Amino acid sequence: MQLPDDDTPPAPPVRDAGARFPRHFFAREDERDDAEFYAFPRFVTHIDGGAIAAVGALYDELGIDGEVLDLMSSWVSHFKQTPARLTVLGMNAEELAANPQAAVTVVHDLNEDPTLPFDDASFDAAVCCVSVDYLVHPVAVFGEVARVVRPGGKFVCTFSNRCFPTKAIVGWLYASDAQRCVIVADYFRKAGGWSEPMIDQRTPVHHFGDPLYAVWSTRA
């Protein structure tokens, strides 16, 4: 990211205003519209098989089922058992159309408009896998997830240590894995409507593959 030579930082975009994150926390090297970056499909997996299995195992353990929203989704949602009705929201229509677990697909740019295009209390649970680092209005989005998830429902965020670095927020790039867990827990707390978040490392500590961290909470 280009910062000026003198010590006068440029006025940062107003993002998650009032949520008290450091200046530039939500800046990104590539500030072009996300639609450009995600214009072509990427039929790849962003974490290895061990981490993917850990995501599915967590969803099973937490009983994520019923009407479920997979936020920032692609062609894979990692459920071991497909939920009764899975809605996938992401940026690339071709990827979403190829998701074998999806019943409903929605293309929507959360950085352009954090408002979710769903009615209040329309889901039993929501998940977001290896994508929370791309949100520039995460507190607004977590607040929206609280609006659309029914009381008692969970929102499960999982992530590893890999990303598209030009699209991830600066605050994420400069954080350690442990700090990233704290950042996501903070999004839940600042958004409101969520119980005290749970933080867990879901892959073994002495693990040679991609690590998998999870932060989740229950709709109050």
Ligand X SMILES: C[S@@+](CC[C@H](N)C(=O)[O-])C[C@H]1O[C@@H](n2cnc3c(N)ncnc32)[C@H](O)[C@@H]1O
Residues forming contacts to ligand X in the complex (CB under 6 A) are 34, 38, 46, 72-74, 76, 90-92, 109-111, 129-131, 134
Q: Exposed, middle or buried by CB within 10 Å (0-12, 13-18, 19+), for 173?
A: middle
- Comparing CB distances to ligand X, the nearer of 3 and 104 is 104
Shortest Å, Cβ 18 to ligand X? 21
Binning the chain into helix, strand and coil, the percentages to the nearest 5 are 25, 20, 55
Q: Tell the smallest beta-carbon distance from residue 131 to ligand X (Å).
A: 4
Q: Which is nearer to ligand X, 115 or 179 (CB)?
A: 115
The DSSP string of 73-96 is --S----SS--SEEEEEES-HHHH
Per-residue DSSP letter, 72: T
Query: Closest approach of Cβ 163 to ligand X, in Å?
Result: 7
CB of residue 6 to ligand X, shortest distance in Å: 32
CB 200 within 8 A of CB 219: no
Give the nearer residue to ligand X in terms of CB position, either 9 or 32: 32
Name the residue nearer to ligand X (CB basis): 73 or 217.
Answer: 73
We find the least distance from the C-beta atom of residue 151 to ligand X, in angstroms, to be 25
Residue partners of 202: CB distance under 8 A and separation at least 6 = 54, 55, 57, 58, 158, 212, 213, 214
Contact status, residue 169 vs residue 179, Cβ threshold 8 Å = no
Q: In the complex with ligand X, which residue's Cβ is closer, 30 or 109?
A: 109
